[in-house]
Amino acid sequence: MALIGSILKGTAKLGNQFEEKKRFDYSLQTKVLQKLLDKAKGTDFGRTYNFKEILQSTSPLHEFSSAIPITTYEEFYEKWLTRTLQGEKDVIWPGRMKYFALSSGTSGSPSKRIPVSETFIKNFQRVSLTQMLTLHDYGMETDFYEKSLLIIGGSSQLKDMELYKEGDLSGILAGKIPFWFSKFSKPGKTISRLPNWEMKLGAIVKEAPKWNIGIISGVPAWVEMVLKSIIKTYNLNSIHDIWPSLKVYAHGGVAIDPYKPELMKLFGQEVFFQETYLASEGYFAYQKGGNRKGMRLLLNSGVYFEFIPFDRNNFDETGKLRPEAVALPLHEVKEGVDYALVVSTCSGLWRYLIGDTIRFTSLLDYEIRITGRITHFLSICGEHLSVDNMNKGIQQTAEKLGIHIPEYTAHAVKNGKIRHHWYLGTDKIVSDQEVALLLDQELQKINDDYASVRKHTLDKPTVTLLPKEYFIDFLARKGKLGGQNKFPRVMKPEQLEEWKSFLG
């Protein structure tokens, strides 16, 4: 029995038991908000919105939401982030912001510069450690705790902007990895710094036989590409021929269901899928055990959460927030309702509208799942198809036809008949019309609004089937291979023109 593995397994067990015994309720969020307000009360933002008075209030949560407007990135950038980027101190968070994470978003979106404070980095390290403690839930053998973690992320090479450094969040965090953890982390600093995805992929494949990987982390499309490249290069039956100890895949960024069938073919034995919710703005949630339906919201990780019901009262048909929209604190949410997520963070983002929608699957453990984006839904005439609806419709259509559809995108068509046009990525030869008919039927079962408008104003959808490589090639053309990049599920007009041009 390996000494290090035994020690780490024992630590994981004790740490996991300690985490479970800690009080876990919405009162933690009140404490988080108070800490954030106290820390930032001397900043320009804190003085502008009277953080000291909010702290002295008998109802700080209510006073906070009443005093400070909900903001989008564009609004916050214009009024506050520009000054921070110019090197001013104490604008939104104490001191000068040394790092900014470039948020990849979806293809066609300009990069956003998200502030990353030293406090954020410390909180991220702590949350990452507690996530590692959950490995005890999977009943791993002692020697598993000595295996390596392969992170398929963006380049760790940061760009020096004189007043600050910017780059992929994984790059910022890579420079802060504790020395004891670097032994277990792959692909290592040299490969991680490579800015070109093809070069990085080649280097990972070359080094793969030297590693003993137990955990893989990354966006599904890029992880799938890495595993397939290794299997093909070394003529393997499965990835377990070279990494027999691989037991956990930590994924996030997109829904895993469209990718899962293909990934399962690459594994030679059981692998636990652990979902995580990590954004450039913070580490928000992770799955606590492989049999859980949702991810546990991290109530004590330096982020204060608020929730706006994603409905017509709070958002217009384009996904734009209405002026009268009201955000709810954690103790007022309900299960089964889609909410737009609003965060205030230990990097100085205040009442910031993330753009994601989530749904609570359990209020007992405050578990959530991501259901889509506030601007990524189809509602040309009141059908209100969310990304969650689309994912389910695509998955059920693929299962009934016995095909695999890992990538797709859609847009609304208004010229002539009103309809949806879908582009689906698959390797199987099937009829466009057959897929369109079945997808339409599945969506009508899933969404009552869609079923209603299909009887009156919305024409039947059209489908264009493409090799799934087209979606990857389009991202490559945009310089968005690897890292946290993913294909947009709903095309904006400017993206659609680029996509059509690409398809010729």
User: In whole angstroms, what is the distance from residue 291 CA to residue 122 CA?
Assistant: 29
pLDDT in tens, 466-477: 998 999 899 888
Q: Are residues 9 and 147 in the same domain?
A: yes
Residue 106 DSSP one-character state: B
User: Which phi and psi (to 5°) does residue 278 adopt?
Assistant: -120, 120
pLDDT of 107 = 39
pLDDT of 110 = 52
Least confident of 139-143, 384-388, 463-467: 139-143
pLDDT of 405 = 92
Pull the structure tokens for residue 447: 């969404």
Q: Looking at 252, 279, 306, which one is the last position of a domain?
A: 279
Q: Are residues 129 and 274 in the same domain?
A: yes
- Rg of the chain in Å (alpha carbons): 23
Q: Are residues 272 and 408 in the same domain?
A: no
More confident residue, 349 or 19: 349
Name the band, by pLDDT with cuts 50, 70 and 90, for residue 287. Answer: very high
Name the band, by pLDDT with cuts 50, 70 and 90, for residue 3. Answer: very low
Q: Are residues 274 and 396 in the same domain?
A: no
Instruction: Return the H-helix or E-strand segment holding 33.
Output: helix 27-40
187 cis-preceded (ω within 30 degrees of 0)? yes
pLDDT in tens, 73-93: 999 999 999 999 999 999 999
Q: Yes or no: say if 205 and 229 are a contact pair by the CB < 8 Å rule.
A: yes
pLDDT of 138 = 78
In a domain, 134, yes or no: yes
In a domain, 363, yes or no: no
Mean pLDDT over residues 125-146, rounded? Answer: 81
Name the band, by pLDDT with cuts 50, 70 and 90, for residue 445. Answer: very high
User: In whole angstroms, what is the distance from residue 367 CA to residue 324 CA?
Assistant: 28
For every residue of 75-103, DSSP letters joined together read: HHIIIIIHHHHTT-SSSSSSS---EEEEE
Q: Looking at 217, 251, 279, which one is the last position of a domain?
A: 279
Most confident of 350-359, 372-381, 382-391: 350-359
pLDDT in tens, 167-203: 888 888 877 776 656 678 899 888 988 888 889 999 9
More confident residue, 244 or 255: 244
pLDDT in tens, 301-343: 999 999 999 988 898 877 889 999 999 999 999 999 999 999 9
Map residue 202 onto helix, strand or coil.
Answer: helix
pLDDT in tens, 31-87: 999 999 999 999 999 999 999 999 999 999 999 999 999 999 999 999 999 999 999
In a domain, 326, yes or no: no
Q: Yes or no: say if 169 and 280 are a contact pair by the CB < 8 Å rule.
A: yes
Q: Yes or no: say if 23 and 163 are a contact pair by the CB < 8 Å rule.
A: no
CA-to-CA separations, 400 to 306, 357, 455, in angstroms, rounded: 39, 28, 24
| 465-502 exposure pattern, b = at least 16 Cβ within 10 A, e = fewer | bbebeebbebbeeeebbbbbbbbbbbbbeebbebbeee
pLDDT of 308 = 97
Q: Nearest CA to 236 among 202, 208, 201?
A: 208
User: In whole angstroms, what is the distance from residue 446 CA to residue 392 CA?
Assistant: 8
Q: What is the CATH number of the domain that holds 444?
A: 3.30.300
Least confident of 4-18, 45-59, 120-134: 4-18
In a domain, 365, yes or no: no
Q: Angle between the 60-67 and 27-40 helix axes, to the nearest 10 degrees?
A: 60
In a domain, 127, yes or no: yes
User: In whole angstroms, what is the distance from residue 203 CA to residue 208 CA?
Assistant: 8
In a domain, 284, yes or no: no
Give residue 391's identity as a one-letter amino acid code. Answer: N
Give residue 201's identity as a one-letter amino acid code. Answer: L
For every residue of 415-443, DSSP letters joined together read: SSS-EEEEEEE-SS---HHHHHHHHHHHH
In a domain, 399, yes or no: yes
Q: How many domains does the chain have?
A: 2
Q: What is the CATH number of the domain that holds 189?
A: 3.40.50
Map residue 282 onto helix, strand or coil.
Answer: strand
Pull the structure tokens for residue 358: 């989530």
Least confident of 155-169, 268-282, 431-445, 476-490: 476-490
Cα-based angle 24, 25, 28 (whole degrees, multiple of 5) = 90
pLDDT above 90 (res 478): no
Beta strands, E only, 71-212: 99-103, 112-116, 148-152, 159-160, 165-167, 185-186
pLDDT in tens, 392-440: 999 999 999 999 899 999 998 887 789 999 999 998 889 999 999 999 9
Pull the structure tokens for residue 20: 């479970």
Give residue 431's identity as a one-letter amino acid code. Answer: S
Q: Compute the mean pLDDT over every residue in the chain, rounded to the nearest whole number.
A: 88
Q: Yes or no: say if 377 and 311 are a contact pair by the CB < 8 Å rule.
A: no
Map residue 500 onto helix, strand or coil.
Answer: helix
pLDDT above 80 (res 18): no
Q: What percent of the chain has pLDDT over 70?
A: 92
Give the domain range for residue 436: 387-503
Q: Nearest CA to 496 among 488, 255, 414, 319?
A: 488
Give the pTM. 0.86
pLDDT of 109 = 46
User: Which phi and psi (to 5°) does residue 4 adopt?
Assistant: -65, -45
Beta strands, E only, 256-393: 272-279, 282-286, 295-297, 303-309, 338-345, 352-362, 367-373
N-term to C-term CA, the chain: 60
Lateral strand order in the sheet of 462-466: 407-413, 419-425, 462-466
Pull the structure tokens for residue 122: 């410390």
Q: Looking at 279, 304, 325, which one is the last position of a domain?
A: 279
